[in-house]
Structure 1
Amino acid sequence: MISEAHFQKEIDLIITNALREDVGEGDHSSLACIPKNAKGEAKLLVKEDCVIAGLEFAKQVFQFLDPKSQIEFKAKDGDWLNRGDIAFYIKSTSQTILKGERLVLNAMQRMSAIATKTNEFTQVLKNTKTKILDTRKTTPGFRALEKWAVKIGGGVNHRFALYDMIMLKDNHIDFAGGIHQAIEKTQSYLTKNKLDLKIIVEARNLQEIQQIIQHKCIHRILIDNFSFADTQKAVQLIGDVCQTESSGGITLSTAKQYADCGVDFISSGALTHSVYNVDLSLKAV
Structure 2
Amino acid sequence: MTAFTIPGFDLDAFVSTTLAEDLGTGLPGGGHDVTCESVIPADARFAGVMESRDAITVCGLPIAAAFFRALDPAMEITVLAPEGAQVAPGAALMRMTGNARAMLTAERSALNTVQHLSGVATLTRQYVDAMGETKARLLDTRKTIPGLRHLEKYAVRTGGGMNHRLGLWDAAMIKDNHVAVAGGVGEAVRRALGAGVADVICEVDRIDQIEPALAAGATRLLLDNMGPDILREAVALVAGRAPCEASGGVRLDTIGAIAASGVDYVSVGRLTQSAPAADIGLDFTPL
Residue matched to 1:169: 175
Root-mean-square deviation (CA), in Å? Answer: 1.8
Cα distance in 2, alignment partners of residues 150 and 270 from structure 1: 11
Structure 1 position 159, deviation (Å):
1.2
What is the identity, as a one-letter code, of the residue corresponding to 1:199? V
Cα distance in 2, alignment partners of residues 176 and 37 from structure 1: 67
Structure 1 position 12, deviation (Å):
4.1
Cα distance in 1, alignment partners of residues 73 and 180 from structure 2: 53
Q: Deviations over 1:47-74 (max 9, x none)?
A: 1221222112212222333333332122
Cα distance in 2, alignment partners of residues 14 and 169 from structure 1: 33
SS in 1 for 2:8: helix
Residue matched to 1:140: 146
What is the identity, as a one-letter code, of the residue corresponding to 2:183? G
Residue matched to 1:57: 63
Cα distance in 1, alignment partners of residues 165 and 198 from structure 2: 11
Equivalent pairs: percent with the same residue? 32
Cα distance in 2, alignment partners of residues 143 and 58 from structure 1: 17
Would you say 1:279 and 2:285 are equivalent positions? no
C-alpha contact (below 8 Å) 1:203/1:223 kept by paired residues: yes
SS in 1 for 2:193: helix
1:124 equivalent among 123, 130, 135: 130
Give unmatched runs, 5+ long, in structure 1: 191-195
Cα distance in 1, alignment partners of residues 115 and 170 from structure 2: 28
Cα distance change of structure 1 residues 164 and 99 upon mapping to structure 2, 3 Å threshold: farther
C-alpha contact (below 8 Å) 1:14/1:142 kept by paired residues: no
Structure 1 position 167, deviation (Å):
0.9
SS in 1 for 2:50: strand
Matched positions, count = 275
What is the identity, as a one-letter code, of the residue corresponding to 2:141? T
Structure 1 position 144, deviation (Å):
2.0
Instruction: Report the TM-score when normalising by structure 2.
Output: 0.89
Would you say 1:33 and 2:33 are equivalent positions? no
The correspondence of residues 1-285 of structure 1 with structure 2, limited to 5 A, is 6-9=7-10, 11-23=11-23, 24=25, 25-190=31-196, 197-216=198-217, 218-285=218-285
Cα distance change of structure 1 residues 156 and 176 upon mapping to structure 2, 3 Å threshold: same
Cα distance change of structure 1 residues 219 and 67 upon mapping to structure 2, 3 Å threshold: farther
Cα distance in 2, alignment partners of residues 12 and 253 from structure 1: 40
Give unmatched runs, 5+ long, in structure 2: 26-30
Instruction: Report the TM-score when normalising by structure 1.
Output: 0.89
What is the identity, as a one-letter code, of the residue corresponding to 1:131? R
Structure 1 position 197, deviation (Å):
4.4
